[in-house]
Amino acid sequence: MSTKFPEIQGGGSLILAWQIKGKEVLVVAAGRIVNLLNADAKVTVVCPRNGLNEEVAYRVNNGQVKHVDRVFLPVDLEPEKKVAMVLTAIDDPDASTRIWKYCKQMKVPANIADVPSECDFYFGSVHRDGPLQIMVSTNGNGPRLAAAIRRQIGQMLPEGTGDSVKRVGQLRRKLRKVASGKTSRDISKRMAWMSEVCDKWSTDDFNDMDDEDMDKLVRYYESGEVPSFEEIRLGSRDHVVWEFDGTFGWM
């Protein structure tokens, strides 16, 4: 029986953007450190120094991550250390499983590399352009294929998409200053108006928008109207003075 609601497709995973900024992340051996640092996490690597690869050693030596020069011990997950997640990538399956079981006991989410049954979360293939992040996940079925799909998606996006996202963020912050109501009705109205702006304006429009354009645009908020970018630049059509410079020609 068909309905207006989407069909349930089991077997997927809940894809989230985890706000890990400023939180402690424990990495046993090496892996995913760049992703964590890009998300402003506080990273501690637990691994004998001779087990560090070139990049991790570089980041340790430059103070980008903390380093504990030994194997993992239960003390690494003591509550006062406030570890938000654990990532492991070691060649000892038994040791990995022991770490995973201890994480479960301490209720700390863990990712045990290449062992899906011992992962509370997965990493996908990510396209990054400034604030824009697009993750592709195959739920463990084909990581290499996920990377290929991610590249295809990135190539399809208009040039400057990341910059457009930045401008939209600036516009939202400016709108919240102008319309600072906090009731559910206020929030719904702001979201609806911003959605209409994003539907009506193109990537190029947002890229070309400057602070003066933003100020002009948010003035339309109370009326609920969403002008085009051309109307913002030229002003209301009732007030535009159209000049003829002879370049159009006549039939």
Positions marked active-site: 114
Q: State in Å, rounded, how far the first CA of the chain is from the last one.
A: 59
Strands 42-46 and 24-29: parallel
Distance of CA 14 to the CA centre of its chain: 15
Over its C-alpha atoms, the chain yields an Rg (Å, rounded) of 25
Compute the distance between CA of residue 28 and CA of residue 22 in angstroms, rounded to an integer.
Answer: 19
Write out the two tokens for 186.
């206020």
Strands 83-89 and 110-112: parallel
Phi, psi at 52, each rounded to 5°: -75, 135
Nearest CA among 163, 172, 174 for reference residue 208: 163
Compute the distance between CA of residue 98 and CA of residue 106 in angstroms, rounded to an integer.
Answer: 12
76 within 8 A of 47, measured Cβ to Cβ: no
The one-character DSSP state at 20 is -
Cα–Cα separations (whole angstroms), residue 139 to 44, 91, 143, 207, 241? 27, 22, 8, 35, 58
Estimate the crossing angle of helix 161-178 against helix 211-218, to 10 degrees: 50
